Amino acid sequence: MSKKNKEITKEKFHIGTLFRLFSYVLKSWPLFIVAVVMTLTSNQLALLGPKYSGVAIDAIANPDGVDFALVYKNVIYMIICYATSAVLSYVLAVIMINISQKVVYRMRKQLFEKLTTLPVGFFDTTATGDIISRISYDIDTVNSSLSHDLVQVMTSLYAVIGSLIFMWKISKPMIIVFVITVPISILFTRYRSKKVRPMFRERSKKLGELNGYAEEMLSGCRTIQVYNREKEIGSRFDARNNDAMNAFYKAEYYASAMGPSVNFINNLSISLVMILGGILYMYSASGMVKAGSMFFITLGGVAQFVQYSRKFAGPINEFANILHEFQSAFSAAERVFRIIDEPSEKPDKLNAVTLENTVGDVRFNDVFFGYTQDKTILHGVSLNAASGKTIAIVGPTGAGKTTIINLLMRFYDVNSGTITLDGLPIYDIKREDLRKAYTMVLQDTWLFHGTVAENIAYGKEGATLDEVKAVAKAAKIHNYIEHLPDGYNTVLSDDGINISKGQKQLITIARAMLSDAPMLILDEATSNVDSRTEIQIQEALSKLMENRTCFVIAHRLSTIKNADLIIVLQNGKISEQGNHEALMKCGGFYSKLYNSQFD
């Protein structure tokens, strides 16, 4: 794509962003209509002020003497107009803040709801901190621009048009000044905007990268301290912080030049107006220009024109000053819309089947899969997990064990081959039903901010406290919970950082026990507990696994000796399969791996 075509595409995208933001505003159309009416009324009153001021000045400069009655009358009118305009402007600002908050609420809600529908692959390739930056900073940037700058633009637009009409009525020759200066301001602003816009995109990008890195490092602060990498991590953060600061400075610096430059042009135009107005008034006062002539103007007319010229030039200057804020808001909105426009998980087929009375018979038939097109992880995997049986999956790191779990849950779809559940291809089953058929206990535990009881009850909607206690006892965690300050009502902090990893894992196991799903996935479910507790957990898991189809990933091979079928994965292929005794007799990879753990 040529450079010119790229610029056109970016320009269209920018205009599309503007209309898209405006569509959020229109959802509050009653308030927006009130805001528009108040804008027109407030600005119209403000535009009448100079008119009454000019009449009062002409009444003072009357050769026959000062007409005080006319002066007082117009001064009162002027004060009423300006005071009413100020009150309406205040109410307008309140209304626009209300509208902007509604817009931000809708946008943030839509963004979060979109995140819940995105495939797992998106989160595998996008930093959490960058996502949080879009939810918070980018949307707040849009909010700031909508609540303040949008009012300014609406006001400025009406002020410019209204002032131009009044100036046209007062003196057509004096408008020539703006015929020259206004195009210069517009062309300069447009030129500068094209230069500045990519800088604001870069600023948002760098800030997202900074937040992503900070979130990643904070989540691993213990590991950083253990390995004494504080200085190295600090220097890397400084580098990213410096990049973000430079991007911020560069965008603000080049954007800030627009305001003073346009202000200079506008001040120059007002100076020229005053000079030309003074000349025309001198000719008019001397009688060289007769009343009714296009060039005739009174002292009050000059005063009016100067005031209107300020109202005309001022908004142009203000718009140049806030244009960089619009650029920032548009860049932030584009980052938000990029996530909103991300493709969601593939929708279910129109004739997708609803699972009822799941038996739990799972089959892989010649499955090939890779996370990227250029690298295949699984090569022709075929296996049969009969209903109620326990299938253990072992193998070296990177062999594809977790990948099989991802495919079972349809976090990813296979490249070729089929996976069936109870004889049905899983792609013909409603995704929600498919995932409800499984309960999972993962090595990476996840607990949310809430009570212990709430975290366990997450496994079953509407679970009672008695049910929660029953599974906690089965998971050998009940006594520990009872000794907490508030027992089952003890609040766990963010991701349960106020309890040990082993205790967190026991809580997640209790959560899984509460679920009535017919199939179970255990991914290193006992990796964070001691050997004695592991034995107790294995007893509890044995009860949990009864009459369920179970997939177990384990590196401690002693935990899978009783599995009905053990699958050995090597380089994405099944190299061995059978029960423990059969595989030990073969003397292959499994037996060597098993013996190595006890040598």
Nearest alpha carbon to residue 300 among 72, 81, 51: 51
Position 222 scores a pLDDT of 66
In the chain, domain spans: 15-340, 362-596
Residue identified by tokens 């799941």 is 358
Give the span between the Cα atoms of 82 and 53, in whole angstroms: 11
97 confidence band (pLDDT: 50, 70, 90): confident
- Tell how far CA 71 is from the center of its chain: 58
β-bridge partners, 362: 385, 421
One DSSP character per residue, 109-135 reads: HHHHHHHTTS-HHHHHHS-HHHHHHII
Topology of the domain covering 15-340? ABC transporter transmembrane region fold (1.20.1560)
Higher pLDDT, 451 or 221: 451
Position 368 scores a pLDDT of 92
Going by the DSSP 8-state scheme, the letter that residue 420 receives in this structure is: E
Give the span between the Cα atoms of 578 and 576, in whole angstroms: 7
**To the nearest whole number, what is the mean pLDDT of the chain?**
80
Give the span between the Cα atoms of 326 and 337, in whole angstroms: 16
Residue identified by tokens 């509604």 is 102
Among the ranges given (89-103, 146-160, 415-429), the one the predictor scored with the smallest mean pLDDT:
146-160
Going by the DSSP 8-state scheme, the letter that residue 516 receives in this structure is: -
Query: In sequence order, what are the residues at sequence separation of 6 or more whose Cβ sits closer than 8 angstroms to the Cβ of residue 597?
Result: 556, 557, 558
Phi, psi of 325, deg, nearest 5: -70, -35
CA-angle at 182, arms to 181 and 187, nearest 5°: 100
SS3 of the chain: helix, strand, coil, percent, to 5: 65, 10, 25
Position 24 scores a pLDDT of 82
Please give the torsion angle defined by the CA atoms of residues 94, 99, 104 and 110, in that order, rounded to the nearest 10 degrees: 160
Structure-block tokens of residue 133: 């930056």
pLDDT(412) > 60: yes
Give the span between the Cα atoms of 538 and 506, in whole angstroms: 11
**Contact status, residue 576 vs residue 568, Cβ threshold 8 Å:** yes
pLDDT(212) > 50: yes
303 confidence band (pLDDT: 50, 70, 90): confident
Residue identified by tokens 């918070």 is 136
Phi, psi of 168, deg, nearest 5: -60, -40
Nearest alpha carbon to residue 237 among 250, 226, 224: 224
pLDDT(1) > 60: no
β-bridge partners, 440: 521
Position 418 scores a pLDDT of 92
* Overall residue count recorded for the chain in this entry: 599
Q: What percent of the chain has pLDDT over 90?
A: 3
pLDDT(273) > 60: yes
The kind and range of the H/E element at 349 are: none
For 509-560, what is each residue's pLDDT tens digit?
888 888 878 888 888 766 656 666 667 667 767 767 777 888 888 776 767 8
Structure-block tokens of residue 376: 């295949």
For 3-22, what is each residue's pLDDT tens digit?
444 443 444 446 777 788 88
- Tell how far CA 465 is from the center of its chain: 37
Give the span between the Cα atoms of 19 and 14, in whole angstroms: 9
Give the span between the Cα atoms of 185 and 317, in whole angstroms: 9
Strands (DSSP E) contained in 313-415 are 362-369, 378-385, 390-394
For 569-592, what is each residue's pLDDT tens digit?
888 888 888 888 888 888 888 888
Position 174 scores a pLDDT of 82
440 confidence band (pLDDT: 50, 70, 90): confident
In CATH, what number does 362-596 get?
A: 3.40.50.300
For 30-56, what is each residue's pLDDT tens digit?
888 888 888 888 888 888 888 888 788
Task: Estimate the crossing angle of helix 465-474 against helix 501-514, to 10 degrees.
Answer: 120
Higher pLDDT, 323 or 169: 169
Nearest alpha carbon to residue 323 among 237, 403, 262: 262
Query: In sequence order, what are the residues at sequence separation of 6 or more whose Cβ sits closer than 8 angstroms to the Cβ of residue 568?
Result: 394, 395, 574, 575, 576, 577, 583, 588, 589, 590
Going by the DSSP 8-state scheme, the letter that residue 429 receives in this structure is: B
Give the span between the Cα atoms of 67 and 71, in whole angstroms: 6
Range with the largest mean pLDDT of 207-221, 413-427, 490-504: 413-427
User: Given its phi and psi angles, is residue 556 left (phi above 0), alpha (psi -120 to 50 degrees) or beta?
Assistant: beta
